[in-house]
Amino acid sequence: MLLNNEYKEEIIETIFEKSNFCFVVVDGQGLVTYLNDNYCKFIGVKLEDAIGKHVQDVIENTRMHIVAQTGKEEIADIQFIRGNHMIANRVPLCSKGKIVGAVGTVLYRDTKEWMKMNSHIKDLLLEIEQYKKKLGNQNGATYSLQDIVGSSIQINKIKEKVMKISSGDVSILLMGESGTGKELFAHSIHQLSERSMKPFVKVNCAAIPVDLLESELFGYEGGAFTGAKKGGKLGKFQLADGGTLFLDEIGDMPLDAQVKILRVLQEGEVEAIGSEKTQKIDVRIIAATNQSLETLIKENRFREDLYYRINVIPIKIPPLRERVEDIRVLAKFLLAKITKRTGKRVISFEAAVMDFFMHHEWPGNVRELENVIESAVHLTNTEIIKLEDLPDQMQSNHYTTKQSMNLKEVLARAERQAIENAIERAGGDKLRAASLLGVGKSSFYEKMKKHQL
């Protein structure tokens, strides 16, 4: 039995007005043609004030106009509305083979319900991630060469060197400032070596108290000293037997421990505290430092014979400021990684932010860049990270940088930024962007040409 028009209208009214969802419909230009009562109440607008307006002026962080232009649906997308993350569906509307607009729905208006479900999902994802780590990384190495992001000449040369030397057993010394990624390279070398199925054990030489360093490295027998475990404990060397021992921050290792490590490397055997027997061990040493070991040798703080033992193949990892061309791709990679982990939809940086990134010194290198982006992701209320979203200390650095620019440079950068922001807000519609800026079409295109946009 076919439904007559009267029933169809009732069904449509029930779906759009009496359901618990928020509905919005836009035309091909992104103008609001329909907004149901639930949506009006949720965002605090009157229907008559919303109809005919561009959807960006009615709903924050919307992408309805983009779907109406591209014809690509977006299902179960995270949208930040009124201080909370909602789930949005956006579907293009077609008539006679042409896209004429889009319809969108927002689920979980009740933020408490959404937060409860969101927490449950995060718990499940974390649990899955833990199982994956246990299954896939039983050897202790987490990263591979593919995890090292960068396309600069320096990074590519280091990757090529790593691939050449990984298969051998020679000791490797990784040198570089804090935050340059020394540990990632150590993991990668192990993963590419013949020892990849054996343990990868890390020792942070700066983090272990001096009085515990020997027992941590070489282990001890039960009852060897007060407080010792009854059954004794294996040291890092024993745990790494057959695999790789990564000695991080080796420049901070006490001289006494250096003497004992040198003996282990020379003799190929280790003696646990309280034991009368030695144990043969087979480990490959990868050491890392952010200090000049040559300087420490001159200051009698590092043994020269140990230096030559661990420095068979040196690899110097350049700081971020010396490979500026990697900053853009690193920033985008880190943004994707952080938003995936946090569940917050942030898709890009405004041009001024990326320009600042390219000129900042980055004393903390990649680690600092990641921390800055993570902070900005949490601080921003939009899908684009802006200068005001950066941490306070970066704001002052940005102000200082600006002081070295002349007026012409400041004005040119501001004009370019304004044009890019307008194009972004207009969803790529250049005529609408020109209108937003209050300039004519020909003048707008001239300015775009001037700034090579």
pLDDT of 111 strictly over 60: no
CATH 1.10.8.60 residue spans of the chain: 320-404
CATH 3.40.50.300 residue spans of the chain: 145-316
CATH number among 3.40.50.300, 2.60.40.1180, 3.40.1160.10, 3.90.25.10, domain 145-316: 3.40.50.300
Give the CATH architecture of domain 407-451: Orthogonal Bundle (1.10)
Q: How, if at all, do strands 98-107 and 84-95 pair?
A: antiparallel
Closest CA to 284 of 251, 317, 246: 246
CATH 3.30.450.20 residue spans of the chain: 10-112
- Per-residue pLDDT of 153-202, as tens digits, reads 999 999 999 988 998 889 999 999 999 999 999 999 998 888 888 999 99
Neighbours of 39 (CB within 10 A): 24
Closest CA to 349 of 359, 341, 357: 357
pLDDT of 125 strictly over 70: no
- Per-residue pLDDT of 210-232, as tens digits, reads 778 888 888 888 766 666 677 78
Contacts of 432 (CB under 8 A, 6+ apart): 54, 426
Q: Determine the average pLDDT of the residues in 370-382.
A: 91
CATH 1.10.10 residue spans of the chain: 407-451
More confident residue, 141 or 129: 141
Residue 117: band (very low, low, confident or very high) from pLDDT cuts 50, 70, 90:
low
Closest CA to 361 of 183, 185, 177, 184: 177
> If you average pLDDT over every residue of the chain, what do you get?
83
Domain 320-404 fold: Helicase, Ruva Protein; domain 3 (1.10.8)
Q: How far is CA 217 from CA 58, 134, 384, 407, 444, in A?
A: 63, 24, 48, 60, 67
pLDDT of 374 strictly over 90: yes
Domain 10-112 fold: Beta-Lactamase (3.30.450)
Q: Determine the average pLDDT of the residues in 378-397.
A: 82
Q: What is the torsional sign of CA 106, 112, 117, 120?
A: positive
